[in-house]
């Protein structure tokens, strides 16, 4: 017989120090695996769990906005605008925005940059419409790049020609 939970909805704050496990810094994989297993066990009891992860200067906005009908694209645009970000980074499997799906069309070419209006007219589907409109209205550029390409994130941060820049 399974015990009945005393709480139905909780917020679990995990400190950055807790994520290190026995390591001197960083995130310990074994610690994360153990924590995820424990969270899974609690959710299997029917408890709703929200998680806030600490870690000093790195902030993790996990999942979406918590509102129905809004995607994680919208959450990224919203959080980017809220914190006054200079740029929203969309890290994907592909290394930018193309004229067509590069996996289906070998003639597809990557845009180095394009305006929000050009992307809308060409129906390129970079983000969902709500997220895209929010970024456009806030003049918050988006950089689409491949997170699987080694060093790409750093190159984006250094302002190098990586991925596709979508701007107002």
Q: What gap in Å lies between CA 168 and CA 157, rounded to an integer?
A: 19
Strands 142-146 and 88-92 turn out to be parallel
pTM: 0.69
Q: What gap in Å lies between CA 113 and CA 144, rounded to an integer?
A: 10
The per-residue pLDDT for range 47-66, each reduced to its tens digit, is 988 777 766 676 667 667 77
Tell which residue, 108, 107, 106, 127, has the closest CA to residue 116: 127
Percent of the chain with pLDDT over 70: 93
The DSSP string of 64-89 is: --SSTT--HHHHHHHHHHHTT-S-EE
Domains of the chain: 9-53 (no CATH), 72-167 (3.40.1160.10)
Q: How confident is the model at residue 11 (pLDDT cuts 50, 70, 90)?
A: confident
Residues whose CB falls within 8 Å of the CB of residue 89, separated by 6 or more in sequence, listed in order = 142, 143, 145, 153, 156
Q: Where are the alpha helices (DSSP H) in 20-158?
A: 29-43, 72-82, 116-121, 129-137, 152-157
């Amino acid at each position: 017989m399974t015990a009945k939970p005393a709480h139905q909805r909780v917020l679990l704050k995990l400190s950055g120090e807790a994520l290190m496990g026995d390591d001197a810094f960083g995130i310990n994989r074994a610690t994360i695996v153990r924590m995820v297993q424990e969270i899974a066990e609690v959710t299997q009891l029917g408890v709703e769990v929200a998680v806030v992860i600490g870690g000093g200067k790195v902030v993790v906005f996990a999942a979406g906005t918590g509102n129905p009908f809004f995607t994680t694209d919208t959450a990224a645009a919203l959080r980017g605008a809220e914190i006054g970000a200079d740029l929203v980074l969309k890290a994907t499997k592909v290394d930018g925005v193309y004229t067509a799906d590069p996996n289906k069309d070998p003639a597809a070419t990557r845009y180095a940059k394009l305006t929000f209006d050009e992307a809308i007219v060409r129906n390129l589907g970079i983000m969902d419409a709500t997220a895209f409109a929010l970024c456009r209205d806030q003049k918050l550029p988006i950089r689409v790049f491949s997170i699987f390409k080694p060093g790409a994130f750093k190159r984006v941060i250094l302002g190098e020609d990586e991925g596709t820049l979508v701007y107002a």
